[in-house]
Structure 1
Amino acid sequence: MNLREKYGIPANAVITIAGTVGVGKSTMTQALADALDFRTSFENVDQNPYLDRFYDDFKKWSFHLQIYFLAERFKEQKRIFENGGGFIQDRSIYEDTGIFAKMHQEKGTMDPVDYETYTNLFEAMVMTPYFPHPHLLIYLDGSLDDIVARIQERGRQMEQQTPISYWEETHERYEKWIQSFDACPVLRLNINEYDLLKNPQEIETIVERVGCIIQ
């Protein structure tokens, strides 16, 4: 009996991993997919045509980046459910409007008209009974110091050039966002309570907690 069957997780479940940059979403996505024999859905950072431009000039490219993310994640969500579920998804569609677009509008790096256009489009596409929401969102939580240390350790150039104040801002907004998130059930995991790279067997404890929510 595999872990999915052992803990009663349906074969068609869709689980989304959420959390700020540096918390280990990709590692968790792959570990859970391997444990449950699910497919993965990863964010394609390398082929994003706006990401480098955005980090160079938030104000000029924030709207373009958010529209790109919305379109790509909507298409991916549709693909996942059309394929019958059984997916672990790296990053949710909800974080963009609840955290990033809102932050840029409030800080003046997204035009208010652009922000209204974006949020209207998001609500029309996603916040409807017809949109297939995941069965569970796993929120990876950690202290700001731990997250910044991880960002520095992995050494992506565009992230290294980003001011620490930006990571402070996003960390705070993530914490506020998850408190009111209600599109699907949530499982919160503290990143200091496990180390899947050093101790891969710890994934069973996480699968057990998932099984308590998804039946």
Structure 2
Amino acid sequence: MKNDKAIVVFSGGQDSTTCLFWALENFKEVETVTFNYNQRHKLEIEVAEGIAKELGVKHTLLDMGLLNQLAPNALTREDIDITQEADELPSTFVEGRNLLFLSFAAILAKQAGAKHLVTGVCETDFSGYPDCRDIFVKSLNVTLNLAMDNQFVIHTPLMWLDKAETWGLADDLHAFEFVREKTLTCYNGVIADGCGECPACELRQKGLDKYLSKDKR
């Protein structure tokens, strides 16, 4: 793969940043694409742009504001609380987000001459999001290739990793401190270790504590 080109679906969070470092290790040329879907914290876009610039990779921002209109959720509406009830999808679930993001990333990739798409979805710690499952990614991969008469390969380096193992991958890629200090995972828009209270921060911190407890560093 070292002679190939990849597009990373990039939010500037822990997972996508780890995937960016993974892509830089595995591909000759890497670009990133970030989507503006009127997310509550525009800081997410600024963080993504900043990381891409620091790492010297081309960054594209695409407008996906229609998602805000079609799929109201806690990530785009301040009047919707962040909740996660038993047997229900979290209020942070954005209907169709990964379907649309990967589809538009594939269109961008074809124009850029890239065959590889990289995304940080994960079935192990996926909060119940159906579009983070391996079966969805494999299905979409086939659909994109048929729809666009191309041979894309969607890579999911984190699919079978829990958050502790994701921290371990970042460490293996010599990116542990970078990911910890410069990414934005927090639903409340706090960079690095976050607010410590939202579900995203709790999951991230639990994985970090588990990884550090193994005394690997």
State the TM-score, normalized to the length of structure 1: 0.40
State the TM-score, normalized to the length of structure 2: 0.40
- Greater length-normalized contact order (CA 8 Å, ≥ 6 residues apart): 1
Higher Rg of the two aligned structures: 1
